[in-house]
Structure 1
Amino acid sequence: MKVLHVITGLAAGGAEQQLRSLLPHLRASCEVAVLTGHGALAEAIERAGVPVHHVGMRGNRDVRAVGRLARLMRGRRYDVVHTHLYRACVYGRLAARLANVPAIVATEHSIGHRHIEGRRLTRPVRALYLASERLGHRTVAVSPSVVERLAAWGVPRRRMVVIPNGLDGAAYRFDAGLRRSARERLGLAEDAFVVGGVGRLEPVKRFDRLVAAMPSLGRATLLLVGSGTCEARLRDQARALGVDRRVVFAGESLDVRALLSAMDVLVAPSAEETFGLAVVEALASGLPVLYDSCPAVDDLPPGSAPGARRVPPHLLAAELSALAASPPARLAPPDAVRFYDVRRQAEQLESLYLRLLGASPTEKER
């Protein structure tokens, strides 16, 4: 079975990291097509032996990318095309149809109530998404919350299947040596209380709430891992509050394990999440987690993630102050980490591919 994964870009975001983690566990022969940019993740995927095809898309309206993708798909004769992220889903599903690919799958990673991948959900955005969804055979929702949001748009439930994101828990396990080396590299004191945030620095992630909490946290340090359009604004906010020396911007990083090891608590202040992979990664590292929205935790039975707590935004500073005053010991990875094992995710996806390839055209269109 030959599978092409089509993704918008390969910056170190959640969906992109998820694809990189998944590829080694798929038994199918996989390749990747990236619409825009290159990035460290593309290089890491190539080093692992997975071919990466660069489509060279020059913006949202570069329709020639559809032709380039379709030629790639026809020439390489893929059995399955699996798209990830909004632009890749729109262009990739159309190209796969033009290339007569037998099975077309899309994973919906980033749909919120008002935004999709930080893009406002206007009528044209929604209409284009729904039109392209009909070109595929199945849409993979990373949580039941995604199913409900897409169903409210009008996507038929029979065309959706829930396959949660996965991770290799051992790859995020706490390491005291990595903690020391990461703190030294970042200029963090060994005894500093480090509040962490991991994700795209975009408005929907609401990392400004973390910066706003810093004046009440004494000597604590905020470590933000990621990049995005809000970085300059967050730096200005830290400077205006007089805490800029206690806010560290680590940028994009492939070494998430070391950075999680350097933290004492992870905070996920976003009000709109489709899954919450950073929360599960932090739990695998033994960190306590404070979050506002996390289907990965909320969709599980109570007690599956005892280290994670929902905290309303107005209580965030007080909760962090209490943790800073009495830093908790590292926790054992909870049941949630084992439930979201990447091997299980890979098995479920490959079963879906095989079902679609064995189904009649009529069955796939239902």
Structure 2
Amino acid sequence: MSLRVATVITRLSGGAGTLALRGAAALDPDAHEVTLITGSGSLLRQAEEAGLETVVEPALRRPVAPAHDLLALHRLTALLRGFDVVHTHCSKAGALGRVAARRARVGRVVHTFHGFGFHRFQPAHRRRAYVAVERRLGRITDLALCVGGGVAVEAVQRRLLPPERIRTIGVAVDHAAPRRDEETRRRARRALGLAPDDVVVGAVGRLTYQKAPEHFIAALAALRRPEVVGVWVGDGEEAERVRAQAAAAGVRAVLPGERDDVVRLLPALDVFALPSRYEGLPLAIVEAMVCGVPVVATAVNAVGDVVVPGETGLLVPPHRPDLLAGAVAHLLDHPDRAARLAAAARERVAGRHEIGQLADALAQAYRAE
């Protein structure tokens, strides 16, 4: 019997939006009728091209806005009636969607933690409040899917749900993505307007507080290497501030905005460097590994699932752009070691994080055991 599944996410964009879309599109259409409900997003066109029914609910917005949130809750409750499963993603849609699902008497509620809305850089009282909210929501959640082992471990430690209702999943990447070689490197650099002899350090992600793009620029400045160009693929509320910071620091930075051809751009990079304050398991890191780009990242949440220090990449503490710069410099100065790390990373993710594996995990999650 076919299940009617509602996938609810605030913004269908970025890594979380991509994972939600790839999972929904990969499900067996004979066994699942999926409707995507979102407030906005750059991936709406891709969802429609994948044949998924999409519903845009403008009241579903990311910032906390009580009037819009109450309106979104009311509308979601009406929208979700008649579904067999509601699958929510991220904090805002996760809260409103799960409450609406229970009000609509949906039989099964699944939530994906791509990371957490609470983190150690928040005031303690706010962090405690967010944890308390998630624990209450856990009471009306049949199953939590955690993107990465580090996220699942924290969910268990924080007692967000009983242990038997917490599962770990991976991200889903295209393992046929172009591997970094001279030809793919040349094409990617041409697409970004870069010279063949530029030394390129890059990242992918929304330009937000979470991703700490200001630390990326600070690390580039600390390198003191005029031949280095920084590339950050993605858009967000910090874009103008990052541009101004780069100009003031004399850093060469290319910010091409949000792109739908990220995997074709990754071979342009000599080093992938992500300075996030907190994360789940970043899709972009796994994609960089599949492409054969050496990785430096911050040691947060589930990043260590794939970036094993000294084995598949280098890890540094968050909020330390000086150490990020040192790790990047090490890989630039030791290309043979960088190549070995990249090869080991590519081997580690081979056969993992496949779209079919995500589809299987979702199909199991949607059917009560």
Using the size of structure 2 for normalisation, the TM-score is: 0.84
- Structure 1 residue 198 corresponds to structure 2 residue 199: no
Gaps of 5+ in 1: 360-366
- Structure 1 residue 346 corresponds to structure 2 residue 328: no
Quick check: 2:34–2:52 contact (8 Å CA) kept in 1?
Answer: yes
Out of 261, 268, 293, the position equivalent to 2:267 is 261
- Give the aligned residue type for 1:198: V
Question: Does the C-alpha gap of structure 1 residues 184 and 196 become closer, same or farther in structure 2, counting only changes over 3 Å?
Answer: same
Q: Quote the Cα distance in structure 2 between the aligned partners of 1:274 and 1:230.
A: 20
Out of 48, 57, 61, the position equivalent to 2:50 is 48
Question: Does the C-alpha gap of structure 1 residues 308 and 112 become closer, same or farther in structure 2, counting only changes over 3 Å?
Answer: farther
- Structure 1 residue 218 corresponds to structure 2 residue 219: no
Out of 157, 162, 166, the position equivalent to 1:160 is 166
User: Secondary structure of the residue that 1:92 maps to in structure 2?
Assistant: helix
Out of 126, 129, 136, the position equivalent to 1:131 is 136
What is the 5 A alignment of 1:324-335?
Answer: 324-325=332-333, 327=335, 331-332=342-343, 333-335=346-348
- Give the aligned residue type for 1:291: A
- Give the aligned residue type for 1:334: E
Out of 11, 34, 42, the position equivalent to 1:30 is 34
Q: Quote the Cα distance in structure 2 between the aligned partners of 1:301 and 1:65.
A: 38
Structure 2 counterpart of 1:107: 112
Question: Does the C-alpha gap of structure 1 residues 131 and 296 become closer, same or farther in structure 2, counting only changes over 3 Å?
Answer: closer
Q: Deviations over 1:314-366 (max 9, x none)?
A: 33323323433465559542222422222112212211212x1xx5xxxxxxx
Q: Deviations over 1:284-306 (max 9, x none)?
A: 01000011225555336969x94
Quick check: 1:220–1:324 contact (8 Å CA) kept in 2?
Answer: no
Out of 186, 189, 194, the position equivalent to 1:183 is 189
Displacement of 1:88 in angstroms is 0.6
User: Secondary structure of the residue that 2:43 maps to in structure 1?
Assistant: helix
What is the 5 A alignment of 1:267-278?
Answer: 267-278=273-284
Gaps of 5+ in 2: none
Out of 269, 272, 287, the position equivalent to 2:293 is 287
Displacement of 1:40 in angstroms is 2.3
Q: Quote the Cα distance in structure 2 between the aligned partners of 1:33 and 1:208.
A: 33
Displacement of 1:132 in angstroms is 2.4
Percent identical:
34
Displacement of 1:164 in angstroms is 2.3
Question: Does the C-alpha gap of structure 1 residues 293 and 322 become closer, same or farther in structure 2, counting only changes over 3 Å?
Answer: closer
Q: How big is the alpha-carbon RMSD for the aligned residues of Structure 1 and Structure 2?
A: 2.7
Out of 59, 72, 95, the position equivalent to 1:65 is 72
Q: Quote the Cα distance in structure 2 between the aligned partners of 1:56 and 1:164.
A: 30
Instruction: Choose 102-111 or 317-326, whichever is displaced more.
Output: 317-326
Q: Deviations over 1:212-238 (max 9, x none)?
A: 232312311000011222222211211
Question: Does the C-alpha gap of structure 1 residues 208 and 324 become closer, same or farther in structure 2, counting only changes over 3 Å?
Answer: same
Out of 79, 85, 108, the position equivalent to 2:90 is 85
Quick check: 1:197–1:224 contact (8 Å CA) kept in 2?
Answer: yes
- Give the aligned residue type for 1:310: L
Structure 1 counterpart of 2:246: 238
Q: Quote the Cα distance in structure 2 between the aligned partners of 1:157 and 1:188.
A: 49
Structure 2 counterpart of 1:363: none
Quick check: 2:280–2:303 contact (8 Å CA) kept in 1?
Answer: no
Displacement of 1:49 in angstroms is 0.9
Displacement of 1:200 in angstroms is 1.7
User: Secondary structure of the residue that 1:170 maps to in structure 2?
Assistant: coil
- Give the aligned residue type for 2:245: Q
Aligned residues: 346
Question: Does the C-alpha gap of structure 1 residues 92 and 265 become closer, same or farther in structure 2, counting only changes over 3 Å?
Answer: same
User: Secondary structure of the residue that 1:8 maps to in structure 2?
Assistant: strand
Quick check: 1:292–1:310 contact (8 Å CA) kept in 2?
Answer: yes
Q: Quote the Cα distance in structure 2 between the aligned partners of 1:133 and 1:19.
A: 20
Out of 8, 11, 28, the position equivalent to 2:10 is 8
Q: Quote the Cα distance in structure 2 between the aligned partners of 1:83 and 1:108.
A: 9
Instruction: Choose 192-201 or 64-73, whichever is displaced more.
Output: 64-73
Structure 1 counterpart of 2:18: 17
Q: Deviations over 1:111-146 (max 9, x none)?
A: 1662699xx944443333332232221111122322
Instruction: Choose 331-340 or 285-294, whichever is displaced more.
Output: 331-340
Q: Quote the Cα distance in structure 1 between the aligned partners of 2:189 and 2:89.
A: 34
Q: Deviations over 1:53-82 (max 9, x none)?
A: 0112165322122222222222xx322110
- Give the aligned residue type for 1:4: A
